[in-house]
Structure formats: structure tokens, C-alpha cells
Structure 1
Amino acid sequence: MLINPMSGGVDGNAETQARAILDEYEVEADVYLLEGDGFQQTIDEAIAAKPNALLVLAGDGTARSVATLAGDHDILVAPLPGGTMNMLPKALYGTGDWKKALRRTLEQGEPRPVAGGAIGDEHFYCAAIMGAPALWAPAREAIRSGKIGKAWSQARLAFRRAFSGRIRFSLDKRQEQKAEALVLVTPLISKAFNENDPGLEAAAMKTSDAGQALRLAANALFTDWRNDDAVETTRTREVKVWGRSRIPAVIDGETIPVGREATIRFEPHAFTALALPADTVDDVS
């Protein structure tokens, strides 16, 4: 088990609490802290040891990175909720409480193939937002944290930029299209397709007037803008995106650099999680 004591959802007692839970279930496990200069080396050594399973309690970016490495080396991985958004852990364990997620993993966990997507060397397992709505992510997080003043300033900045330029994209080498943004959702969390569907859910946001833009901005802050009437949804395996300037991009809740163009590809089996069965996650909280 790897623990980053400095991540947003982990406190100083995490190592002691984790060891106690593992002992309670009589699991033979080594627990290591991810710290300082040895951060990446500890991860590399854990992968090289080829454990039966690799439990990760860390931020969203670290969990995503370790899941990718585990997939490359055919190691079961349990990315527990130790970050701020915890999109992947919540999809796999139905909770943002890492201690609950760990117990559920030890009691009910089974191998579960997880599909995903990749933008160059960056992998995502829940969703990628390309274009304007990626600018709303900081405002939404500020609202969740109760920081209304910060949320307002972030929202003003986002709205000034959000509808100033469109991105161009092509799905599976088909005809070029334009949109304010494109969201690519993996089968793990897609509500339009099931987990076995061979592709990403592509939701294109297209507006025709300022009224639609304002409505979509409100939805981006408070609900799921993919449910808006101005959004078109389809399935795809490869996407090319380009724009006149650098494209705002967020994957699994984290901002990443993309540049003016990018190719996104579907990964039918990105890694194997030690997680709850897919049909039971919605039944827990």
C-alpha cells in the first residue's frame, strides 16, 4: 500500500489507520509513504515487486499515474480516494471516504477491467474536457469548498474566455465539426453507454446565441452540462482536436497542457482494478 500523506484527502494518521484496517482483515501487506525525493522511486519499487495487489491512497493525479503503471505491468490496483475530486475512486468504490473504500476493497473487491482514454502520454479513466468548459472546473471546486468569492472571480474569468472561440474536432476521421467544447466520457461513468461499449462517449457542446451560452454556463457551475439541449452525444474511438490557440483541457479533474492540437484515443483495457462489482457501486454511499 502506497500512501501520500500530503495529498488533499489524507491526514497524518492515515498510515496508522491503514495498518490497523489491514491487520483487522489479516492481510499481509507492506505500507510505504510517498515522500520527498524518493516519491517516484517508491512507486517504481512497488511496481517492480509485482505484488498481488497495489493499494494507492494519494491525490487524483498520483492515483491516475499509478493505475497507468499498474496496467502496463498487469498488476491489480486499488486507487483509494485520497484526493480532492476522487472521480475514479468514487466510480470504483461508491464513496469518497478512503477507509470505507479500503474495507469494501478487502471485503468485496474483485478484478474489474477498466477502459479509458489517452491524450499523448496522459491517461484518463473518467472524463476529459476539451475546450471552454474546462475553464469552469476551478469555479466548481471553489463552490464545493464554500469559497464563494473565489468561485465568483473564477466564473467571471471563465465566462469571458469560454465562448470567445470554438475548437474544431473530428471523430473517427469523419467530417470536421466545430463546438465550444468536447467532453469524452469513459464507459466507467458514462450514462449514455454501458461499461462494455467499445468507445468513449463524445458530448459536443454547440450554441447558437448568447442565451444558450448563459444557460450552459449555469449548468457548468451547478449541474451536468452534458444534459443540456445544446449538447450532442455519440460514440467514438479516436478524436482529433485543434484550435487557433492553446486548448483548455481537464482530465479526471486535473488541468493538463495540450497545446493547439491533440489526438485522443480509446483504451479498451487500460488497467485492472481491485474494486466493487460494477452492478453494486450505485447501491452504496
Structure 2
Amino acid sequence: MKRKDILTPIGIFLGLTMVLFGIYTNGGIGGVSSFVQASSILVVLGGLLGAILINFSLKDLKLTLRVFKEAFNNESYDLKELIRLFVGLSEKARREGLLALENEVDKVEDPYIRKGVLLAIDGSEPEVINDIMNAEIVAMEERHQRGRAIFQKAGEYAPAWGMIGTLIGLVLMLNNLSNPETIGPSMAVALLTTFYGTLLANLVFNPLAGKLENKTDEETFLKQVVIEGVIGVQSGQNPKILEEKLSAFLSSEERNDLEKDEEEDVEEEQQFAGESVNGL
């Protein structure tokens, strides 16, 4: 299930607000306005855009908007529910055979899980299932890497273009040394491009690239759990053994929660059975 990730916009907003507040406490409104310089912004953004266009293909650039949106989405997974799903499939497969899982596949929303279960139903060997599903993980990681590479490169280029803008400002300043009164303001303007480039790199581009990489690692981890679950179902593993195996992917806290949930389910079943007997 996808939902909005509020931490990303909050982080950018909070970082920018704290920077502006720090400037304001030292220089007031006039200090804040002195940090707004159109020519410096044009140098940094223009140079950065040109470098990105040179570095990447049109196909890669088309991924940028979609990947950018992913940084503001949070796809939540319940690992405990995933384990319960495979334990349930394992129990049904042992009772009725793998072909009985065809009715369960339609209830599975995740295409990766559905693909794995279908491979198991078709009688594919565990090694074949492992190879096919791992190949999809490799392809996913490659796609994600291409998508976040633009942000990684932007994080590298932005400070460099900030420095280039500073050098431009210094050259223009040195050409006008005959007027000492302009040296201070000119130096301030020259340094602003470095400020813009560093701020963009460390508040926007690098953090976004890091978040996208974390999302890829999380998705890879979950897909590995799915592979183990599918192979366990295909090979006819005992549901309890499969549950213990998949529980290794849980933290100790999540494992305790899973055990408590199972105990509650057992108590409910016993209570229901007792009520049924009394009713008779």
C-alpha cells in the first residue's frame, strides 16, 4: 500500500526554514534579502541542468519525474502478514496439493508474490524459481540505480557549479578594484553561488538519492523473503518450520508480536470450539 511520505517534504522545509532563521537572527530581513541573487541562481541551476543533459540520455531523463515522486511516497509492508500468507499457503499445499493454490493466487495483489506462487504451481524446481525471481531483483536494482543516478550526479555537480559561479564573481570583482566600496558587496554575491550549490546538494539532491537507495534496499529485502517463502511452499516444507525460517527476517520485537498474535489465535479457536461443544 502506497501512502504519502511526509518526512521528505518536512525535512526539506525544516532544513530550509532553519537556514533562513539562522540568517534572520543575525541579519534580520535585510540579511535574508541579501541571500537572494538571481544571477547566482541562474549560474548554478543553468550549469547544473546543462551538465545533467550532457551526462544522461533522454530515456534516463524521462525517469526523473517518476523517481522524484517515489521519494515522496512510502510503500508500507507488513512482514508479519507476509509470513502468515506463506504459512497459510504451505498448509493448504500440504493438505490439498500445489494445484489447490490456484484459487489463492487471485487473492494476492502483489505481482511478485503472484509470479512466484504460479511458478511453484507449475512445478518449477526450487533452483529455477530462485534464478528467475533473483533475476527480477537484479533488474529492479538496475532500474532503480539508473533512476537515482540523476540525483546522485546533481549532488556532485551542484557544489562544483557553485564554485564556478564564485570564480566568475571574483573575476568580475577583480576587474573593478578601482572602486573599493564595491569589493565587499561583490565578494558577498560571488560567494552566494557556492552557498546555493552546497545547499541544493546537501538538502535536496543527496538526501533524495539516499532515500531512494534505502527504498531499493527495503524492497530487495522483502523480495528475498518472498523467494524463501515460495521455495518453502513449493518444496512442501512443514508450515511451522517455514514460519521459523521466515521469522529469521523479523526483528526480535516483531517476532514476539507474531508469537503473541498466534497465541491469541489459538485461544480464540479453543474458545470457539468450547462454545460449539456447549451449544451441542
TM-score (norm 1): 0.20
Report 1 or 2 for greater relative contact order, CA contacts < 8 Å, sequence distance ≥ 6: 2
Structure (1/2) with the larger helix percentage: 2
Structure (1/2) with the larger strand percentage: 1
